[in-house]
Amino acid sequence: MVVHAPIEGKASKLRLDISLGSSLVASQEIDAGASATFIISDPELWYPVRYGKQPLYKVKATIVENGEDIDSVSKKIGLRRAELVQRPLKEQPGTSFFFEVNGIPLFCGGSDWIPADNFIPRISKERYYDWVKLVADGNQFMIRVWGGGIYEEQAFYDACDELGILVWQDFMFGCGNYPAWPELRASIKREAEENIKLLRHHPSIVIWAGNNEDYQYAESVDLEWDQNNTDAESWLKTDFPARYIYEKILPDACRELCPSVYYHPGSPWGGVDTRDPTVGDIHQWNVWHGTQEKYQNFDKLAGRFVSEFGMEAFPSVKTIDAYLPLGKDDPDRYPQSSTIDFHNKADGHERRIALYLVENMRYAPDPLEQFVYCTQLMQAECLASAYRLWKRQWKGPGREYCAGALVWQINDCWPVTSWSICDYYLRPKHAYYTVKREMAPLSVGIMRREHQHPNPQNKYSRIDITTQVQIEIWGSNLMLEDLEVDCLVRAWDVETGEETYAKVVHEKLLLPKNQSTEVIAMDVPMQKKGDEGRTVVAAYLLESSSSTSSKDVSDGVTTTPSQMGKKQLARYVNWPEPLKYLHLQKPKELKAELSGDGKSVALSAEVPVKGVAVESEDDAVRFEDNLVDIVPGETVWIPVRGASEGTVVTTRYLGMI
């Protein structure tokens, strides 16, 4: 470790102290202006959340003059090795794009970050910490600081250091073509250098990126940009002079001041263009923006690292009531009112929310509570689908086909309908919980796929075709040890609630560490031919009888289904889609019972129920999980914080109105 502390004014000596907790690790006195080299034997390494601890060494520099301490400054650092690995892949074109910390390859599930308030001074140190803790508690590992925002306060990065959240740091250029006259270039250089020096000691920062979507903008308006032209001075004579900033000024500053952290010219960047899914990162906006694809097709929209994607949803009804002048009595308390419409600045948001709602589920704008629920269910299904399908492509060494998913966005800067998964008041939307489950240490996924087989004797007819509907099941083990599991598959008729299938389809299945593994592809287990559209299928990963692992790898949803008899490690319920075609039954016995100690809610029903949400009018009551699917014969427990003896818990689900 090399330490250098520039000094303003005259001084003769500088003392450098390194400590960990209350223990002094090393100390050295040097001449002012010199550098000191420290060798820390057997250091305590800094790890991302879940993969280890986050020890922070304190480095203190003190000016010493005539034996007296004149002034001092301290910074906390973490010791770790962070690399961005880009290497050829097996069986697919392009290169990988994954982060490795202390030798551990990571699938980076996380979020993009915007300023947390329109009035920056209102963001306290505590609020920064609460936001970052919300990310960590949601099983996320990375925050990308968006290039259209600000270089955040030290409190933000301190929280990321303390909680083990990796930071992708954009430089502050976004969505445009910036000029590059000499005086401005000098100003940009100075700004970049000052911010690098301010931030470079944070172990959480693992990548610098030159801009947000500026190369994408250049492509969209056909600016002059030849990737093969390496003559930097010639770039200044084109109609895209900003390239000089991203490929000359910023990388030079990073190389000089922070050479150990990778510099990436922009986000997205890589390949033949910014949409190339085989190299670098992409922003996948063909769901919501662009071609407005179905979110069920996210597997076809993957990239090596997806650093932006999203779906809008309304905020909590409590948040809406807070900004309506008359609260619950306001005449504008309906989804299409001018006041609520004003609280959404996305272009074309009315059409796009309506499009994805009408394609996927039965809904109505009244009452407001159910409409808000439907938009949040839609967002939750959409984002969970992306994490689940892209994480499936994390297939182990040499097959890191997709290595990250950063949702746009975690937070809001005002009370608004947006792409955030938590609203301005840090109230999680339901997508927060589905993402949390998908990023659990162990998860199981199901995809329903339709195969059409034309009659070979009548291949020109669109009538004589046999349709086969299969489910594909896989397990994702993000832990650092192999795990042996059994896979149980169960199925029910959505209309009668009758169980139509229950079988262990794989025993003693090895799930290798830190990758996804295919389990089985099988026909939908239906009662009779043609029932695919009314059959709900659940997959469970159970602790194998020969497994010796005692680690808690639960996805957060604890159940007790009949016929199981073994510890459940992961669970996922798959429904025929679109959900709007289902004849959903209203349960007669949907139970939501708060435990005697107030620490959990038990949910059960006699028919399959989609998207059961637990709610409380008391804002102090916080649910650790939410929006769970219920199937007959099992109870789901949801952990609760802040409940008391008199707490009333209510439920909401798809089809209740």
Residue pair 504/488 in contact (Cβ under 8 Å)? The answer is yes
| 272-284 core/surface letters (b: 16 or more CB in 10 A; e: else) | eebebbbbbbbbb
Residue 443 host element (H or E): strand 442-454
Place of tokens 């997959």: 539
Contact between residue 113 and residue 146 where contact means Cβ atoms under 8 Å apart = yes
* Torsion on CA atoms 31, 33, 35, 36, rounded to nearest 10: 30
Beta strands at 166-170 and 142-145: parallel, antiparallel or unpaired:
parallel
| Calpha distance 70→68 (Å, rounded) | 6
Cis bond upstream, residue 121 (ω within 30): no
| 3-class secondary-structure state, position 139 | coil
**Contact call for residues 143 and 166 (beta carbons, < 8 A):** yes
Torsion of Cα atoms, 359 then 112 then 123 then 618, to 10°:
40
**In whole angstroms, what separates CA 191 from the centre of its chain?**
30
Beta bridge partners of 428: 422
In the chain, the amino acid numbered 295 is Y
Residue 416: helix, strand or coil by DSSP? coil
Return the structure tokens found at 274.
Answer: 């910014």
228 by Cβ neighbours in 10 Å (0-12 / 13-18 / 19+) ranks as exposed
Out of 152, 213, 247, 543, pick the active-site residue: 213
In 3-state terms the chain splits into helix, strand, coil percentages (rounded to 5) of: 20, 30, 45
Active site residue 29: no
Check residue 646 and give left, alpha or beta (phi > 0: left; psi -120 to 50: alpha): alpha
Question: Which amino acid makes up residue 58?
Answer: K
DSSP letter string over 466-520?
Answer: EEEEEEEEEEEE-SSS-EEEEEEEEEEETTT--EEEEEEEEEEEEE-TTEEEEEE
Burial of residue 617 (number of CB atoms within 10 Å: 0-12, 13-18, 19+) = exposed
SS3 397: coil
Which residues are the active-site residues?
213
